[in-house]
A and B are shown apart, each in its own frame.
Chain A
């Protein structure tokens, strides 16, 4: 018995050529972005002058951030920008976050504090912060992140540079680098996330802003109905809705924000599963809206995402066939002899490492000694691709089966070793 048109051949070709093609696109996009928009431009501590310096409202949603919120607020208060207020939203914390924020309000005149009587989720915390804001420009930072002192200036420069700039996403940098998982994520944020954002900007549309550091024009948010409170990842959702409504989203690598990431396998798994579910939710909710000629510029984003999900399932199918072949006699065309990568695996590995090398070269501009993390990246192709594969495979059915319209509330994540 033979399968039509060598099914396994087609799947193997897809499993190989999809990541290679994406890697080529990301490398080319990253390099193009660097040569067009970064090389030779002012450094992070020398942001461009602006015609005017309108007030900025810095929104900080906090849930159980007692241990982190003091340094977060201190970093925000130290922004090198002429006119801003800080609005911390204590979203029904059960620890001492509320009292800590009240104390900080006595210390920092720019700080305003909103206490939500119960946990309402990040989207609703941001919505209340927006309602309280005195500015048209909102810089949203997570309650455990440290914003670089020039970041507000860089993002405000973008927001004021054109009337249809709806959002600017910053450059998250991993702060905790003690363990192998921490160091891997340093390289990941540099080479995967930073490079993808550059390449997507070259294409013209972003898959998502970074929820941990992003600035918005309030009118843009208003036009799309603000953040949805029933989405697992409100940042992916708002990115799609803004771009569907023809608002431009910029990426500013100089707007750095130092963040805490999980350093345990369980914490990492939970975080990535949440991200994967968020992607599925957004694609399911907005995917069909995109089949409209006026929204054609989002087709590339949808295609990239859909292919990544398809790739995860193809890889799973190949693994299942290999496992089945251990117990059952399969037709010749469906026999997978080994999962060990050979020449094709070598090519994938080399291309992946080349991508890391290029991204770290680009990223040296923002962190001079970033190259030392290249040593640890050898784990990335195997371990992280597997993580992405399995979280995607699990996220799709669980998202399809979950109860709809349920409000997404906070669960405190693993924040690594301090």
Chain B
């Protein structure tokens, strides 16, 4: 049978309906488990799991029994905190820009911030190969542009975007 003929769209139900059915089914499984518990007990006894219980769980085994409680609780708390935090942020900020756009820094501002004079910065932006000297404050104190490589082929033009 072609899988496309099957109709599987649980998302078309309301969340309440889905959650309710899911929970009721889980409860039904709990009842079912209660009914077959004697069989499971028999199997555990048969496969020697009682021996494991004695070795691991009884006080003389030296195993820290609180770990069996604290570790699952710790894992659940970590999951609730981290995922809860992420989902709250997702709900609040997804596709919403809280902060205003900042204009791009102008070349002159960049040159000032990086300790370069405007003429040096302009020469540097257009240079193909250059040697730079920096002063004690790491500002650009001198620039020497290679005359040989500046005559090489210009930058390739942008190519079409990926298809």
Chains A and B form a bound pair: yes
Q: Which residues of A contact B (CB under 8 A)?
A: 17, 20-21, 24-25, 28-29, 32, 36, 47, 49-50, 53, 55, 80, 82-83, 85, 102, 105-106, 109-110, 112-118, 120, 124, 127-128, 130-134, 136, 153, 162-164, 199, 202-204, 218-219, 222-223, 225-226, 229, 246, 342-344, 347, 407
B158 touches A136 (CB 8 A): no
Query: Which residue on chain A has the smallest CB distance to residue B136?
Result: A407
B110 touches A218 (CB 8 A): yes
Task: Please give, as numbers and ranges, the residues of chain A lying within 8 Å of B85 by CB-CB distance.
Answer: 202-204
B113 touches A225 (CB 8 A): yes
Q: Does B71 contact A (CB under 8 A)?
A: yes
B104 touches A219 (CB 8 A): yes
Task: Please give, as numbers and ranges, the residues of chain A lying within 8 Å of B110 by CB-CB distance.
Answer: 130-131, 218, 222
Query: Which residue on chain B has the smallest CB distance to residue A48?
Result: B162
- Of B101, B114, B127, B159, most A-chain CB atoms within 10 Å: B114
Shortest Cβ gap from B150 to chain A (Å): 10
A82 touches B132 (CB 8 A): no
- Known interface pairs A131-B116, A132-B124, A202-B86; A117-B131 also in contact (CB < 8 Å): yes
Q: For the A-B complex with A102-B129, A105-B129, A124-B134 known, give 4 more contacts whose Cβ atoms are closer than 8 Å.
A: A21-B78, A82-B162, A110-B156, A343-B64
B158 touches A55 (CB 8 A): yes
Q: How far is the CA of A55 from the CA of B131 in the complex (A)?
A: 24
8 contacting pairs across A/B (C-beta < 8 A): A24-B75, A83-B159, A102-B129, A112-B127, A163-B102, A202-B82, A226-B114, A343-B67
Task: Please give, as numbers and ranges, the residues of chain A lying within 8 Å of B74 by CB-CB distance.
Answer: 17, 20-21, 24
- Known interface pairs A128-B140, A130-B114, A131-B121; A344-B64 also in contact (CB < 8 Å): yes
| 8 Å CB interface, B120-141 against A | 121, 124-125, 127-134, 138, 140
Q: Does B154 contact A (CB under 8 A)?
A: yes
Q: How far is the CA of A44 from the CA of B83 in the complex (A)?
A: 26
Task: Please give, as numbers and ranges, the residues of chain A lying within 8 Å of B152 by CB-CB distance.
Answer: 105-106, 109
Q: Does B45 contact A (CB under 8 A)?
A: no
B62 touches A112 (CB 8 A): no
A109 touches B101 (CB 8 A): no
Contact with A along B85-123 (1 / 0, CB 8 A): 110010000000101111111000111011010000100
Query: Which residue on chain B has the smallest CB distance to residue A84?
Result: B158
Q: How far is the CA of A133 from the CA of B114 in the complex (A)?
A: 13
Q: How far is the CA of A229 from the CA of B105 in the complex (A)?
A: 21
Query: Which residue on chain A has the smallest CB distance to residue B85?
Result: A203
- Known interface pairs A117-B132, A117-B133, A219-B104; A49-B161 also in contact (CB < 8 Å): yes
B161 touches A50 (CB 8 A): yes
B82 touches A112 (CB 8 A): no
Task: Give me the 5 closest cross-chain CB pairs, A-B, nearest first.
Answer: A83-B158, A163-B101, A222-B105, A24-B78, A115-B131
- Chain B: interface size category: 35 or more
Query: Which residue on chain B has the smallest CB distance to residue A33?
Result: B86
Q: How far is the CA of A134 from the CA of B155 in the complex (A)?
A: 12
Q: Does B33 contact A (CB under 8 A)?
A: no
Shortest Cβ gap from B156 to chain A (Å): 5
Task: Please give, as numbers and ranges, the residues of chain B lying within 8 Å of A17 by CB-CB distance.
Answer: 74
B64 touches A120 (CB 8 A): no
Task: Please give, as numbers and ranges, the residues of chain B lying within 8 Å of A128 by CB-CB distance.
Answer: 114, 124, 132, 134, 140
Task: Please give, as numbers and ranges, the residues of chain A lying within 8 Å of B83 by CB-CB distance.
Answer: 28, 32, 202
B155 touches A82 (CB 8 A): no
B127 touches A132 (CB 8 A): yes
Task: Please give, as numbers and ranges, the residues of chain A lying within 8 Å of B101 by CB-CB distance.
Answer: 163-164
Query: Which residue on chain B has the smallest CB distance to residue A45?
Result: B162
Q: Does B38 contact A (CB under 8 A)?
A: no
- Known interface pairs A112-B129, A116-B134; A347-B97 also in contact (CB < 8 Å): no
Shortest Cβ gap from B64 to chain A (Å): 6
A106 touches B116 (CB 8 A): no
Contact of B149 among A105, A134, A202, A344 (CB under 8 A): A105
Shortest Cβ gap from A328 to chain B (Å): 27
Contact of A219 among B62, B102, B154, B156 (CB under 8 A): B102
Task: Please give, as numbers and ranges, the residues of chain A lying within 8 Å of B129 by CB-CB distance.
Answer: 102, 105, 112-115
Q: Does B79 contact A (CB under 8 A)?
A: yes
Q: Does B59 contact A (CB under 8 A)?
A: no
Task: Please give, as numbers and ranges, the residues of chain B lying within 8 Å of A109 by CB-CB distance.
Answer: 152-156
Task: Please give, as numbers and ranges, the residues of chain A lying within 8 Å of B78 by CB-CB distance.
Answer: 21, 24-25, 28
B140 touches A28 (CB 8 A): no
A85 touches B82 (CB 8 A): no
- Known interface pairs A32-B82, A131-B111; A343-B62 also in contact (CB < 8 Å): yes
Q: Does B63 contact A (CB under 8 A)?
A: yes
Task: Please give, as numbers and ranges, the residues of chain B lying within 8 Å of A132 by CB-CB distance.
Answer: 124-125, 127, 130
Q: How far is the CA of A226 from the CA of B131 in the complex (A)?
A: 21
Q: Does B160 contact A (CB under 8 A)?
A: yes
Query: Which residue on chain B has the smallest CB distance to residue A132?
Result: B124
